[in-house]
Amino acid sequence: MELTDFREARRRIEAKRRHGGDKLATVEEAARLVRDGDTVAVGGCLFSRTPMALVREVLRQGRRGLILARNLTCTEGEFLLVAGAAEKIVTSWMSIGLPWGISKILREYAEQGKARFEEWSHMGIGLRFRAAAMGLPFLPTLSMLGSDLMGVTGAKTMACPYTGETLCLVPALYPEVALLHVHRADRTGNCQIDGYPHMDADIAKAANTVLVTAEEIIPEDEVRRHPDRTIIPGFLVDAVVEVPFGSYPHECYGLYEADFDHFSTYVAGIEARGSAAVREYLDTYFFAPKSYADYLDLFGVEALMRQRRFARELTA
């Protein structure tokens, strides 16, 4: 387990000047803030609000030695492994979803020792981000106790100083970089999310550098009219990029549903050709198209509009 000293994490935040100012960037400029070897926290959950445009650009820029930290890991974890960008995944679960079975890529990389996997419980990961969001070294919890997750993570226990009961202590997870996708942001980085917020707000507070793609960049005045909707303040954000359909083929609440048929085609390729199919997928979808718009063209307007219609029906 990699640990960042909470005092050092605070010094790094104090050294930054992120209040005010224009954070608008291109996805290429934003992704350049990711360094080889960084621990990268990815927002959303499983196939919901995955920052796909940022993940794609990180891979295009050829980053190496990354540690991916995510609550439930989906196709983006497979991409990072097969592209050779990540050597370790810190997560509680990895696959696409029950109907697609156990991830063959997870199996290949774990069973052949090609990557390391550090498994926490779902709340365990959440409390690690929460502890960092609070500027603390750890948080106590009543979860994970007695399980073999304690051994593989190195989580410690202590006797409660007030009651004497045993508590599990999860260490704060301070990622170097957070990649997030939100519904709306203004150019100074204030972010608003519709629907389930997952862990994004904690992750934004926990990370040293925060990169955001938004479905829409809105005027600051619009944020000021609805400040109750802001869940990530601009002063946490380093770069913000407008990317419509920025999670596709994963979902964005109210805007487009995840493309399950696309997942099925992708998994059928892996069933037939193993990780070579993921390499082909990356060539086709991530490396060949010059821009994210070109990437979306591969899915086609018809598919995007169909998934948008499903989302509207479900949130009507």
Partner 1 sequence: MSSHGVEGVRAAYTAAELLAVMGARQLVDRTAVFAGVGVPLLAAVLAQKTHAPHLTIVIEGGIIGLQVEPGRLPISTNEMRGARRAVMVPAITDTFLFAQRGCFDYGFLGGAQIDRYGNLNTTAIGPYDRPKVRLPGSGGANDIISLCREIIVLTTHERRRFVEKVDFITSPANLTGDGSRRRAGLLFGVVTRVVTNLGLLGFDEGGGAMRLEALHPGVTVEAVREQTGFELMVAPRLETTQPPTAEELDILRRVDPERRFLG
Among 48, 190, 208, 247, binds partner 1 (CB under 8 A): 48
Minimum CB separation of residue 246 from partner 1 in Å reads 17
- Alpha-carbon distance of 158 to 77, in angstroms, equals 33
Q: What does residue 166 show for φ and ψ, rounded to 5 degrees?
A: -75, 130
Among 145, 169, 217, 303, binds partner 1 (CB under 8 A): 145
According to DSSP, residue 171 is labeled E
Q: Which residues contact 129 (CB under 8 A, 6 or more apart)?
A: 41, 173, 199, 202, 203, 206
Residue with smaller CB distance to partner 1, 129 or 295: 129
Q: For residue 88, give the nearest of 96, 77, 97 by alpha carbon.
A: 77
266 part of the interface to partner 1, by CB under 8 A: no
Among 1, 142, 293, 305, binds partner 1 (CB under 8 A): 142
Residue with smaller CB distance to partner 1, 65 or 97: 97
Q: Is 71 helix (H, G, I), strand (E, B) or coil?
A: coil
Residue count of the chain: 316
Among 80, 82, 85, 149, binds partner 1 (CB under 8 A): 149
- Alpha-carbon distance of 85 to 306, in angstroms, equals 33
CA distances from 65 to 4, 49, 241, 282 (A): 17, 24, 25, 18
**Helices and strands, counts by H and E, the chain:** 13, 14
Residue with smaller CB distance to partner 1, 24 or 123: 123
228 part of the interface to partner 1, by CB under 8 A: no
Binding mask 164-183 for partner 1 (x = CB under 8 A): -xxxx---------------
Residue with smaller CB distance to partner 1, 93 or 299: 93
207 part of the interface to partner 1, by CB under 8 A: no
Residue with tokens 């020792």: 113
β-bridge partners, 166: 159
Tokens of 29: 């400029």
121 part of the interface to partner 1, by CB under 8 A: yes
119 part of the interface to partner 1, by CB under 8 A: yes
Minimum CB separation of residue 205 from partner 1 in Å reads 12
Contact residues: partner 1, CB under 8 A: 45-48, 71-72, 91-95, 97-99, 102-103, 106-107, 110-111, 113, 117, 119-124, 126-127, 129-130, 141-149, 152, 157, 165-168, 195-199, 201-202, 251, 253-254, 257-258, 260, 311, 314-315
